[in-house]
Amino acid sequence: MAEIVAVIASTHHPFYYRASTSTGADRPPFADEWVAKIERFRETLTRARPDVLVMVGSDHFHQLWLDNMPQFLVGKAPFYDANWYNEEREFGLPRMLLQGHEELSAHILRQGLDSGFDLAFSNELRIDHSVTCPIITLRPEADLPIVPIYTNIFAPPLPQPSRFVQLGKAIREIVEGWPSDQRVAIIGTGHLSLELGGPRQFGPHGPDPEFDRRAVDWIATGDLDGCLAEVTLDSLHSPGNATHGFMDFMLMMGVAGEGRKADYVDSLDLFHTMEAYFTWYPDGVDQ
Amino acid sequence: MTKYLLDKFLYTVDRDPDLVERYRDDPRATVEWWEAERANAVLNCHTGEASTWQRFTDAEREALAGHDYPALFELGAHPFLTLTLFIAMFERDHDEPLAFQKEYAVRLAHFALPYPDIAT
Protein backbone atom coordinates (compact mmCIF):
# COMPACT_ATOMS: atom_id res chain seq x y z
CA MET A 1 0.00 0.00 0.00
CA ALA A 2 1.00 3.62 -0.44
CA GLU A 3 2.90 5.28 2.36
CA ILE A 4 2.05 8.73 3.68
CA VAL A 5 5.53 10.10 4.22
CA ALA A 6 4.57 13.62 5.31
CA VAL A 7 1.53 15.64 6.26
CA ILE A 8 2.03 19.36 5.89
CA ALA A 9 -0.20 22.29 6.79
CA SER A 10 0.66 25.87 5.98
CA THR A 11 -0.67 29.31 5.35
CA HIS A 12 -0.57 30.36 1.70
CA HIS A 13 0.68 33.90 1.33
CA PRO A 14 0.53 35.12 -2.27
CA PHE A 15 3.11 37.86 -1.55
CA TYR A 16 5.88 35.36 -0.78
CA TYR A 17 6.93 34.84 -4.39
CA ARG A 18 7.42 38.53 -5.06
CA ALA A 19 9.03 39.18 -1.66
CA SER A 20 11.48 36.31 -2.06
CA THR A 21 12.51 37.16 -5.62
CA SER A 22 12.74 40.94 -5.32
CA THR A 23 16.10 42.64 -4.97
CA GLY A 24 17.56 45.98 -3.98
CA ALA A 25 15.15 48.69 -2.91
CA ASP A 26 12.19 46.53 -3.91
CA ARG A 27 13.07 43.83 -1.39
CA PRO A 28 10.95 44.20 1.76
CA PRO A 29 12.82 44.24 5.09
CA PHE A 30 11.18 41.02 6.26
CA ALA A 31 12.10 39.05 3.12
CA ASP A 32 15.35 37.47 4.33
CA GLU A 33 13.84 36.10 7.54
CA TRP A 34 10.83 34.86 5.60
CA VAL A 35 12.98 33.08 3.01
CA ALA A 36 15.11 31.47 5.74
CA LYS A 37 12.00 30.10 7.44
CA ILE A 38 10.57 28.83 4.17
CA GLU A 39 13.82 27.06 3.28
CA ARG A 40 13.82 25.25 6.62
CA PHE A 41 10.16 24.36 6.09
CA ARG A 42 10.91 23.13 2.57
CA GLU A 43 13.53 20.77 3.96
CA THR A 44 10.80 18.99 5.96
CA LEU A 45 9.18 17.91 2.70
CA THR A 46 12.41 17.21 0.83
CA ARG A 47 13.55 14.90 3.63
CA ALA A 48 10.39 12.79 3.22
CA ARG A 49 11.26 12.01 -0.45
CA PRO A 50 7.68 12.07 -1.78
CA ASP A 51 6.66 10.74 -5.21
CA VAL A 52 3.26 12.42 -5.40
CA LEU A 53 1.55 15.33 -3.63
CA VAL A 54 -2.09 15.53 -2.58
CA MET A 55 -2.74 19.28 -2.38
CA VAL A 56 -5.68 20.69 -0.41
CA GLY A 57 -6.64 24.29 -1.10
CA SER A 58 -9.50 26.55 -2.07
CA ASP A 59 -10.31 28.25 -5.34
CA HIS A 60 -10.68 32.02 -4.90
CA PHE A 61 -13.49 32.60 -7.41
CA HIS A 62 -11.28 31.69 -10.32
CA GLN A 63 -12.73 28.62 -12.00
CA LEU A 64 -15.42 27.86 -9.43
CA TRP A 65 -18.28 30.30 -9.40
CA LEU A 66 -21.62 30.86 -7.69
CA ASP A 67 -23.66 29.41 -10.56
CA ASN A 68 -22.26 25.96 -9.82
CA MET A 69 -20.38 25.85 -6.54
CA PRO A 70 -19.03 22.55 -5.22
CA GLN A 71 -18.27 22.13 -1.51
CA PHE A 72 -15.46 19.60 -1.99
CA LEU A 73 -13.93 18.91 -5.39
CA VAL A 74 -11.15 16.57 -6.54
CA GLY A 75 -9.19 17.30 -9.68
CA LYS A 76 -8.71 14.36 -12.03
CA ALA A 77 -6.66 15.46 -15.00
CA PRO A 78 -3.29 14.64 -16.54
CA PHE A 79 -2.16 18.26 -16.18
CA TYR A 80 -3.14 21.40 -14.34
CA ASP A 81 -2.38 24.83 -15.63
CA ALA A 82 -1.96 27.22 -12.77
CA ASN A 83 -2.35 30.80 -11.66
CA TRP A 84 -4.64 33.38 -13.17
CA TYR A 85 -4.41 36.79 -14.75
CA ASN A 86 -5.53 38.60 -11.60
CA GLU A 87 -2.93 36.72 -9.51
CA GLU A 88 -0.26 37.69 -12.01
CA ARG A 89 -1.55 41.28 -11.84
CA GLU A 90 -1.79 41.62 -8.06
CA PHE A 91 0.90 39.26 -6.77
CA GLY A 92 3.28 38.78 -9.70
CA LEU A 93 2.71 35.02 -9.61
CA PRO A 94 4.10 33.09 -12.58
CA ARG A 95 2.09 30.87 -14.90
CA MET A 96 2.80 27.21 -14.09
CA LEU A 97 2.01 23.77 -15.46
CA LEU A 98 1.79 20.88 -13.02
CA GLN A 99 1.47 17.22 -13.80
CA GLY A 100 -1.54 15.34 -12.47
CA HIS A 101 -1.87 11.83 -11.09
CA GLU A 102 -5.11 10.46 -12.46
CA GLU A 103 -4.82 7.05 -10.83
CA LEU A 104 -4.64 8.52 -7.33
CA SER A 105 -7.37 11.06 -8.21
CA ALA A 106 -9.65 8.22 -9.34
CA HIS A 107 -8.90 6.25 -6.18
CA ILE A 108 -9.71 9.21 -3.92
CA LEU A 109 -12.93 9.94 -5.82
CA ARG A 110 -14.17 6.33 -5.79
CA GLN A 111 -13.29 5.67 -2.18
CA GLY A 112 -14.52 9.08 -1.07
CA LEU A 113 -17.88 8.57 -2.74
CA ASP A 114 -18.15 5.10 -1.23
CA SER A 115 -17.42 6.38 2.27
CA GLY A 116 -20.07 9.11 2.36
CA PHE A 117 -18.45 12.16 0.74
CA ASP A 118 -20.28 13.25 -2.40
CA LEU A 119 -17.18 14.71 -3.99
CA ALA A 120 -17.40 16.81 -7.11
CA PHE A 121 -14.71 16.35 -9.73
CA SER A 122 -13.07 18.30 -12.51
CA ASN A 123 -11.28 16.98 -15.57
CA GLU A 124 -10.01 20.43 -16.57
CA LEU A 125 -8.98 22.50 -13.61
CA ARG A 126 -6.85 25.59 -13.64
CA ILE A 127 -5.56 25.86 -10.11
CA ASP A 128 -4.80 29.02 -8.17
CA HIS A 129 -2.46 30.30 -5.50
CA SER A 130 -3.91 28.17 -2.71
CA VAL A 131 -2.11 25.27 -4.39
CA THR A 132 0.71 27.04 -6.18
CA CYS A 133 1.93 28.95 -3.11
CA PRO A 134 2.89 25.71 -1.35
CA ILE A 135 4.43 24.44 -4.57
CA ILE A 136 6.54 27.61 -4.67
CA THR A 137 7.50 27.37 -1.00
CA LEU A 138 7.84 23.61 -0.57
CA ARG A 139 8.69 22.20 -4.00
CA PRO A 140 9.72 25.03 -6.31
CA GLU A 141 10.97 22.54 -8.89
CA ALA A 142 7.28 21.71 -9.42
CA ASP A 143 8.42 18.28 -10.60
CA LEU A 144 5.99 15.99 -8.78
CA PRO A 145 2.50 14.96 -9.89
CA ILE A 146 -0.34 16.35 -7.81
CA VAL A 147 -3.92 15.61 -6.89
CA PRO A 148 -5.66 18.91 -6.10
CA ILE A 149 -8.56 18.88 -3.66
CA TYR A 150 -10.56 22.08 -3.37
CA THR A 151 -12.74 22.99 -0.40
CA ASN A 152 -15.30 25.76 -0.15
CA ILE A 153 -14.20 28.12 2.61
CA PHE A 154 -15.23 31.12 0.59
CA ALA A 155 -18.82 31.19 -0.63
CA PRO A 156 -21.47 30.57 2.04
CA PRO A 157 -23.28 28.35 2.82
CA LEU A 158 -20.14 26.45 3.86
CA PRO A 159 -19.78 22.94 5.25
CA GLN A 160 -19.38 22.71 9.04
CA PRO A 161 -15.86 22.66 10.56
CA SER A 162 -16.43 19.09 11.73
CA ARG A 163 -16.99 18.08 8.11
CA PHE A 164 -13.57 19.37 7.15
CA VAL A 165 -12.04 17.28 9.94
CA GLN A 166 -14.01 14.21 8.83
CA LEU A 167 -12.86 14.67 5.25
CA GLY A 168 -9.27 14.97 6.42
CA LYS A 169 -9.54 11.71 8.34
CA ALA A 170 -11.10 10.05 5.30
CA ILE A 171 -8.36 11.30 2.97
CA ARG A 172 -5.78 9.83 5.32
CA GLU A 173 -7.47 6.41 5.27
CA ILE A 174 -8.13 6.51 1.54
CA VAL A 175 -4.55 7.34 0.63
CA GLU A 176 -3.24 4.71 3.04
CA GLY A 177 -5.48 2.21 1.26
CA TRP A 178 -4.20 3.04 -2.22
CA PRO A 179 -2.68 -0.11 -3.71
CA SER A 180 0.59 1.45 -4.79
CA ASP A 181 4.18 1.63 -3.65
CA GLN A 182 4.25 5.41 -4.08
CA ARG A 183 5.34 7.76 -1.31
CA VAL A 184 2.60 10.35 -0.79
CA ALA A 185 2.78 13.71 0.94
CA ILE A 186 -0.51 15.40 1.84
CA ILE A 187 -0.21 19.17 1.89
CA GLY A 188 -2.96 21.61 2.74
CA THR A 189 -3.05 25.36 3.05
CA GLY A 190 -5.40 27.74 4.78
CA HIS A 191 -5.31 30.80 6.99
CA LEU A 192 -5.10 31.85 10.58
CA SER A 193 -7.02 35.05 11.38
CA LEU A 194 -7.46 37.04 8.20
CA GLU A 195 -9.46 40.02 7.01
CA LEU A 196 -9.89 40.79 3.31
CA GLY A 197 -11.96 43.67 2.04
CA GLY A 198 -12.95 44.75 5.55
CA PRO A 199 -11.98 47.39 8.11
CA ARG A 200 -9.37 45.21 9.86
CA GLN A 201 -7.36 44.36 6.73
CA PHE A 202 -3.65 45.07 6.23
CA GLY A 203 -2.87 46.00 9.81
CA PRO A 204 0.61 45.66 11.37
CA HIS A 205 -0.28 42.09 12.47
CA GLY A 206 -3.03 39.63 11.72
CA PRO A 207 -6.47 40.89 12.80
CA ASP A 208 -6.62 38.62 15.87
CA PRO A 209 -3.23 37.63 17.34
CA GLU A 210 -4.90 35.86 20.26
CA PHE A 211 -6.85 33.61 17.90
CA ASP A 212 -3.62 32.94 16.01
CA ARG A 213 -1.79 31.95 19.19
CA ARG A 214 -4.53 29.52 20.13
CA ALA A 215 -4.87 28.19 16.60
CA VAL A 216 -1.15 27.43 16.37
CA ASP A 217 -1.42 25.60 19.68
CA TRP A 218 -4.42 23.53 18.52
CA ILE A 219 -2.60 22.52 15.36
CA ALA A 220 0.79 21.90 16.93
CA THR A 221 -0.68 19.66 19.63
CA GLY A 222 -3.33 18.00 17.45
CA ASP A 223 -6.02 19.26 19.82
CA LEU A 224 -9.01 18.53 17.64
CA ASP A 225 -11.43 18.36 20.57
CA GLY A 226 -10.40 21.76 21.86
CA CYS A 227 -10.51 23.24 18.41
CA LEU A 228 -13.90 21.77 17.50
CA ALA A 229 -15.33 22.85 20.86
CA GLU A 230 -14.63 26.49 20.06
CA VAL A 231 -14.67 26.87 16.31
CA THR A 232 -18.01 27.23 14.56
CA LEU A 233 -19.08 28.78 11.29
CA ASP A 234 -20.35 31.77 13.30
CA SER A 235 -17.33 32.09 15.58
CA LEU A 236 -14.93 32.32 12.65
CA HIS A 237 -16.33 35.73 11.68
CA SER A 238 -14.91 37.23 14.85
CA PRO A 239 -11.14 36.81 14.20
CA GLY A 240 -11.48 38.25 10.68
CA ASN A 241 -13.89 38.02 7.78
CA ALA A 242 -11.72 35.57 5.79
CA THR A 243 -10.85 33.33 8.73
CA HIS A 244 -13.04 30.49 7.46
CA GLY A 245 -9.89 29.45 5.60
CA PHE A 246 -8.81 28.09 8.98
CA MET A 247 -11.09 25.13 8.25
CA ASP A 248 -8.48 23.86 5.79
CA PHE A 249 -6.06 23.70 8.72
CA MET A 250 -8.72 21.72 10.57
CA LEU A 251 -8.96 19.35 7.60
CA MET A 252 -5.21 18.85 7.83
CA MET A 253 -5.48 18.19 11.58
CA GLY A 254 -7.89 15.43 10.58
CA VAL A 255 -5.29 14.05 8.17
CA ALA A 256 -2.57 14.22 10.84
CA GLY A 257 -4.74 12.56 13.46
CA GLU A 258 -6.32 13.30 16.82
CA GLY A 259 -3.74 14.16 19.45
CA ARG A 260 -0.87 13.90 17.01
CA LYS A 261 1.73 16.53 17.80
CA ALA A 262 3.39 18.16 14.83
CA ASP A 263 7.02 17.20 14.31
CA TYR A 264 7.86 20.66 12.98
CA VAL A 265 6.24 23.95 13.96
CA ASP A 266 7.18 27.44 12.92
CA SER A 267 5.45 30.77 12.47
CA LEU A 268 6.20 34.28 11.34
CA ASP A 269 4.35 37.36 12.48
CA LEU A 270 3.93 39.45 9.34
CA PHE A 271 1.88 42.52 8.59
CA HIS A 272 -1.71 41.62 7.65
CA THR A 273 -1.54 37.96 8.74
CA MET A 274 0.51 35.44 10.66
CA GLU A 275 2.31 32.76 8.72
CA ALA A 276 2.36 29.24 10.19
CA TYR A 277 4.09 26.04 9.09
CA PHE A 278 3.54 22.50 10.37
CA THR A 279 4.87 19.09 9.36
CA TRP A 280 3.99 15.64 10.66
CA TYR A 281 5.81 12.39 9.81
CA PRO A 282 3.30 9.57 10.38
CA ASP A 283 6.03 6.92 10.40
CA GLY A 284 9.06 9.00 11.26
CA VAL A 285 11.61 10.21 8.78
CA ASP A 286 15.23 9.51 7.90
CA GLN A 287 17.51 12.14 9.40
CA MET B 1 -31.30 42.13 -2.74
CA THR B 2 -29.43 40.62 -5.64
CA LYS B 3 -26.01 40.12 -4.08
CA TYR B 4 -25.36 37.43 -6.64
CA LEU B 5 -25.55 39.92 -9.50
CA LEU B 6 -23.25 42.37 -7.70
CA ASP B 7 -20.74 39.58 -7.27
CA LYS B 8 -21.19 38.55 -10.90
CA PHE B 9 -20.34 42.07 -12.05
CA LEU B 10 -17.23 42.24 -9.87
CA TYR B 11 -16.16 38.75 -10.93
CA THR B 12 -16.59 39.21 -14.66
CA VAL B 13 -14.98 42.65 -14.74
CA ASP B 14 -12.04 41.56 -12.59
CA ARG B 15 -11.11 38.71 -14.91
CA ASP B 16 -11.06 40.88 -18.06
CA PRO B 17 -8.15 43.38 -18.37
CA ASP B 18 -10.04 45.58 -20.85
CA LEU B 19 -13.12 45.72 -18.67
CA VAL B 20 -11.03 46.64 -15.62
CA GLU B 21 -9.80 49.72 -17.46
CA ARG B 22 -13.21 50.55 -18.86
CA TYR B 23 -14.81 50.34 -15.42
CA ARG B 24 -12.05 52.49 -13.93
CA ASP B 25 -12.40 55.16 -16.60
CA ASP B 26 -16.15 55.29 -17.11
CA PRO B 27 -17.94 53.45 -14.32
CA ARG B 28 -21.52 54.52 -14.91
CA ALA B 29 -21.53 53.74 -18.61
CA THR B 30 -19.75 50.45 -17.99
CA VAL B 31 -22.30 49.40 -15.37
CA GLU B 32 -25.20 50.32 -17.63
CA TRP B 33 -23.68 48.48 -20.61
CA TRP B 34 -22.91 45.45 -18.45
CA GLU B 35 -26.43 45.28 -17.01
CA ALA B 36 -27.94 45.51 -20.49
CA GLU B 37 -25.56 43.18 -22.30
CA ARG B 38 -23.86 40.87 -19.83
CA ALA B 39 -25.93 40.49 -16.68
CA ASN B 40 -27.97 37.62 -18.11
CA ALA B 41 -25.10 35.64 -19.60
CA VAL B 42 -24.84 32.22 -17.96
CA LEU B 43 -21.14 31.98 -17.24
CA ASN B 44 -19.25 28.83 -18.11
CA CYS B 45 -22.04 27.88 -20.48
CA HIS B 46 -22.36 28.09 -24.27
CA THR B 47 -23.61 31.42 -25.54
CA GLY B 48 -26.83 30.20 -27.14
CA GLU B 49 -28.75 30.45 -23.87
CA ALA B 50 -29.13 33.22 -21.32
CA SER B 51 -31.12 34.12 -18.24
CA THR B 52 -33.97 36.60 -18.55
CA TRP B 53 -34.44 38.07 -15.08
CA GLN B 54 -31.17 39.51 -13.78
CA ARG B 55 -31.40 43.16 -12.77
CA PHE B 56 -29.63 45.39 -10.23
CA THR B 57 -31.54 47.23 -7.55
CA ASP B 58 -31.18 51.00 -7.76
CA ALA B 59 -28.89 51.01 -4.70
CA GLU B 60 -26.65 48.37 -6.22
CA ARG B 61 -26.41 50.14 -9.56
CA GLU B 62 -25.51 53.41 -7.82
CA ALA B 63 -22.88 51.77 -5.62
CA LEU B 64 -21.20 50.25 -8.65
CA ALA B 65 -21.52 53.38 -10.77
CA GLY B 66 -20.01 55.45 -7.95
CA HIS B 67 -17.05 53.12 -7.29
CA ASP B 68 -18.51 53.19 -3.78
CA TYR B 69 -16.81 50.23 -2.12
CA PRO B 70 -18.11 51.02 1.40
CA ALA B 71 -21.62 50.85 -0.06
CA LEU B 72 -20.79 47.56 -1.78
CA PHE B 73 -19.62 46.19 1.59
CA GLU B 74 -22.89 47.37 3.16
CA LEU B 75 -24.88 45.66 0.41
CA GLY B 76 -23.17 42.33 1.06
CA ALA B 77 -20.99 42.10 -2.04
CA HIS B 78 -18.28 39.51 -1.52
CA PRO B 79 -15.39 41.46 0.08
CA PHE B 80 -12.71 39.45 -1.71
CA LEU B 81 -14.16 40.30 -5.11
CA THR B 82 -14.56 43.98 -4.29
CA LEU B 83 -11.07 44.29 -2.83
CA THR B 84 -9.36 42.49 -5.69
CA LEU B 85 -11.01 44.57 -8.40
CA PHE B 86 -10.53 47.89 -6.60
CA ILE B 87 -6.85 47.13 -6.00
CA ALA B 88 -6.55 46.50 -9.73
CA MET B 89 -8.13 49.86 -10.49
CA PHE B 90 -6.71 52.16 -7.84
CA GLU B 91 -3.53 50.77 -6.26
CA ARG B 92 -1.59 52.42 -9.09
CA ASP B 93 -2.67 55.87 -7.89
CA HIS B 94 -0.76 55.51 -4.61
CA ASP B 95 3.00 55.78 -4.18
CA GLU B 96 3.49 53.81 -0.97
CA PRO B 97 3.04 50.01 -0.95
CA LEU B 98 -0.33 48.98 0.47
CA ALA B 99 -1.43 52.62 0.81
CA PHE B 100 -4.65 51.95 -1.08
CA GLN B 101 -5.37 48.82 0.96
CA LYS B 102 -4.93 50.78 4.19
CA GLU B 103 -7.10 53.64 2.97
CA TYR B 104 -9.72 51.06 2.03
CA ALA B 105 -9.71 49.76 5.62
CA VAL B 106 -10.09 53.28 7.01
CA ARG B 107 -13.06 53.98 4.78
CA LEU B 108 -14.75 50.85 6.18
CA ALA B 109 -13.85 51.66 9.79
CA HIS B 110 -17.45 52.44 10.74
CA PHE B 111 -18.47 48.81 10.28
CA ALA B 112 -18.52 46.62 13.39
CA LEU B 113 -19.32 42.94 13.79
CA PRO B 114 -21.46 41.37 12.60
CA TYR B 115 -20.60 42.57 9.10
CA PRO B 116 -23.30 42.55 6.40
CA ASP B 117 -24.19 39.04 5.32
CA ILE B 118 -22.45 37.95 2.11
CA ALA B 119 -24.39 34.71 1.59
CA THR B 120 -25.93 34.58 -1.88
Q: How would you write the pLDDT of chain A (287 residues) with one tens digit per residue?
A: 999 999 999 999 999 999 999 999 999 999 999 999 999 999 999 999 999 999 999 999 999 999 999 999 999 999 999 999 999 999 999 999 999 999 999 999 999 999 999 999 999 999 999 999 999 999 999 999 999 999 999 999 999 999 999 999 999 999 999 999 999 999 999 999 999 999 999 999 999 999 999 999 999 999 999 999 999 999 999 999 999 999 999 999 999 999 999 999 999 999 899 999 999 999 999 86
Distance from CA of A202 to the nearest CA of B (A): 6
Contacts of B17 in chain A (CB under 8 A): 85, 89
Distance from CA of B86 to the nearest CA of A (A): 10
Distance from CA of B15 to the nearest CA of A (A): 6
The closest CB to that of A67, out of B43, B105, B118, belongs to B43
The closest CB to that of B17, out of A85, A200, A203, belongs to A85
pLDDT recorded at residue B47: 83
Q: CB–CB of A193/A212 below 8 Å?
A: yes
- Tally of CB atoms within 10 A around A123: 11
- CB contact (8 A) between residue A84 and residue B44: no
Q: B23 — phi, psi (to 5°)?
A: -70, -35
Q: CB–CB of B9/B78 below 8 Å?
A: no
The closest CB to that of B11, out of A61, A202, A203, belongs to A61
Does this model's pTM top 0.90? My answer is yes
The closest CB to that of A241, out of B8, B79, B102, belongs to B79
Strand ranges (DSSP E) for chain A?
3-11, 52-57, 72-75, 79-82, 96-99, 120-122, 146-151, 183-190, 264-269, 274-280
> Mean per-residue pLDDT for B67-94?
98
- Tally of CB atoms within 10 A around A248: 27
Distance separating alpha carbons of residues A203 and A106, to the nearest angstrom: 43
Look at residue B1 and tell me whether its pLDDT is greater than 60.
Answer: no
Average pLDDT of chain B? 96
Distance separating alpha carbons of residues A228 and A263, to the nearest angstrom: 22
Q: Give the residue numbers in A contacting B (CB under 8 Å), as ranges.
A: 60-61, 65-68, 84-86, 89-90, 154-157, 196-203, 237-238, 241-242, 271
Contacts of B118 in chain A (CB under 8 A): 156
ipTM of the complex: 0.95
Q: CB–CB of A159/A71 below 8 Å?
A: yes
- CB contact (8 A) between residue B82 and residue A197: yes
pLDDT recorded at residue A92: 96
Closest CA to A148 of A65, A68, A58: A58
- CB contact (8 A) between residue B80 and residue A60: yes
The torsion region of residue B43 among left (phi > 0), alpha (psi -120 to 50) and beta comes to: beta
Domains (range + CATH), chain A: 3-280 (3.40.830.10)
pLDDT recorded at residue A97: 98
* DSSP class per residue in A124-136: S--B-HHHHHHHH
For chain B, give every domain's residue range.
3-107
pLDDT category at B2 given cuts 50, 70, 90 is confident
Q: CB–CB of A196/A207 below 8 Å?
A: no
Query: Looking at this protein, which amino acid is placed at residue B15?
Result: R
The residue of chain A nearest to residue B82, with distances taken between CA atoms, is: A197
Closest CA to A236 of A167, A165, A153, A129: A153
Closest CA to A59 of A152, A142, A136, A124: A152
